[in-house]
Amino acid sequence: MKTLRLLPLALALSSALALPAQAQSLLDLYQSAKGFDANYQSAKSLFDANVAKGEQAKAGLLPSVGLAAGINRANVDSNIPSFETSFGNQSAAVNASQPLYRPANVATAKQGEKQAELAQAQLTAAGQDLIVRVSQAYFDVLGAQDNLNFIHAQKAAVAEQLASAKRNFEVGTATITDTREAQAQYDLVLAQEIAADNDLHVKKITLDQVTGQSGSAPKPLLTPVNLPLLSPTDASAWVSQSEEVSPTIVQAQLALDIAKLQTRIAQAGGKPTLDLVGSYAVTQNNGSSNTTLDYRTNVTSVGLNFNLPLFAGYAIQNQIKQAVALEEKSRADLDAAKRGVALATRSAFFGVQSGLSQVKALEAAEASGQSALDATKLGYQVGVRINIDVLNSQSNLYNTKANLAKARYDVLMGNLKLRQANGSLQEGDLNTVNALLAK
């Protein structure tokens, strides 16, 4: 008997030890994901590579210097002894060149700057995507946990109703139908419990995979929770903001700028170029075929190299046509990006508005459902309601509770996705969500 009494305590202690030492907030898990998520790390590496590639474009405006050196040895063998000789030389030269007029190089250097800006916009988009992915996984776990908790509560309520139906049947105040209806509802809740438990397990694995944590335990929302309202309250204001900060629009604009510079590069193919060149060479001769004396020569030269293309088989003209056509394509892509971002922003805005209204409606439905359940239970006790009425009221109430919890998470995610849609999403926006979590 003593062992049986200690068993529940041992099970409770083992369950407590299996839980994480401390639940994590959304911001904590996001910071963990920044250092672990493979997609974001890939984006960071691509950003570094593109910045370095942009810096390479500046090389065409800077001087180039090279060092050359050589050693030669010659042996002359002849059937005339006086013609037999051996001589050699050692040489070293420094060559330098500085572009003075190369319009193509100037445009290429500006292209490099734009490519670095483009890389920054791509990294910003990757960071926003990480925020949304971590937040979605976070609230998916909370939603799955809430759903399982509601099913547990419903299971307990149905079990109580099943026991009551059995008692009433035994004393003859109810029919076997009540018992069978309660049993069917109980079996259905058991099946829902299995599915909900599996869904929670999968959602936790997904969150762990994104954050790199093992056994992540998200903090739940505060009770009661006050969801943040939309600010500004006009969809047009969100769309106007997107034209300045949206990474999608910024990338399209930079792509157009790069295409314009590519047109300038193609046009520069028919223009002259002018370079300043210079060299300094030293040669040490150890005799020659004519003398056995050692001597050294130092040669310094400075000059200008001018080049003017005259005809290249219409290659330059066709390169210009190609560049102009690609520039027009980039301009059309920019228009499409602006329209797409505006549509996504408006859709996300109205989705959040609808979600806030839905939360209010479900909160009212929850209160009404609880009142209806209490009234139905009372009616069942006095004999004006039957068992199936109680079971249906219980089912409706817990479904409403689950829908309300999901609607709240959807509103929070909708706020983040709205900011992602118009491009204003930042890490600081997670602080607003963090403030709504249990301490």
- Is residue 423's pLDDT more than 80? yes
Predicted confidence at residue 84, as pLDDT, reads: 62
Measured at the alpha carbon of residue 31, what is the angle toward residues 29 and 32, in degrees to the nearest 5? 60
pLDDT band for position 89 (50/70/90)?
A: confident
Burial of 291 from C-beta contacts in 10 A (0-12 / 13-18 / 19+): exposed
Range of weakest confidence among 10-24, 55-69, 137-151, 398-412:
10-24
Predicted confidence at residue 170, as pLDDT, reads: 81
Q: Are 30 and 430 in contact (CB under 8 A)?
A: yes
pLDDT above 90: percentage of residues in the chain: 65
Measured at the alpha carbon of residue 415, what is the angle toward residues 334 and 421, in degrees to the nearest 5? 10
pLDDT digits (tens, 9 = 90+) for 325-355: 999 999 999 999 999 999 999 999 999 999 9
- Is residue 208's pLDDT more than 50? yes
Compute the chain's Rg from CA coordinates: 39
Of the CA atoms within 13 Å of residue 351, those in its CB half-sphere come to 20
Structure tokens at 248: 């999608």
For residues 373, 364, 26, 134, the Cα torsion angle rounded to the nearest 10 degrees is 90
pLDDT digits (tens, 9 = 90+) for 319-333: 999 999 999 999 999
pLDDT digits (tens, 9 = 90+) for 385-417: 877 888 888 889 999 999 999 999 999 999 999
Question: How many angstroms separate the first and last alpha carbons of the chain?
Answer: 41
Domains of the chain: 22-62+102-271+314-434 (1.20.1600.10), 65-100+273-308 (2.20.200)
For residue 146, what is the enclosing H or E element? Answer: helix 103-171
Place of tokens 């479900």: 362
Peptide bond between residue 224 and the one before it cis (omega within 30 degrees of 0)? yes
Range of weakest confidence among 18-22, 271-275, 311-315, 350-354:
18-22
Q: Are 30 and 109 in contact (CB under 8 A)?
A: no
Residues found in the chain: 439
Predicted confidence at residue 296, as pLDDT, reads: 86
229 C-beta neighbours (distance < 10 Å), count: 10
Task: Find the mean pLDDT for residues 93-117.
Answer: 94
Q: Are 341 and 246 in contact (CB under 8 A)?
A: yes
- Is residue 41's pLDDT more than 50? yes
pLDDT band for position 86 (50/70/90)?
A: confident
Please tell me the distance from the alpha carbon of residue 193 to that of residue 186, in angstroms, as a whole number.
10
pLDDT band for position 5 (50/70/90)?
A: very low
Predicted confidence at residue 312, as pLDDT, reads: 87
Predicted confidence at residue 196, as pLDDT, reads: 94
In the three-class reduction of DSSP (H, G, I as helix; E, B as strand; rest coil), residue 395 is classed as helix
Place of tokens 């309601």: 385
Q: Are 372 and 393 in contact (CB under 8 A)?
A: yes
Burial of 70 from C-beta contacts in 10 A (0-12 / 13-18 / 19+): exposed
Q: Are 400 and 366 in contact (CB under 8 A)?
A: yes
- Is residue 19's pLDDT more than 70? no
pLDDT, mean over the chain = 88
Task: Find the mean pLDDT for residues 350-362.
Answer: 95
- Is residue 318's pLDDT more than 70? yes
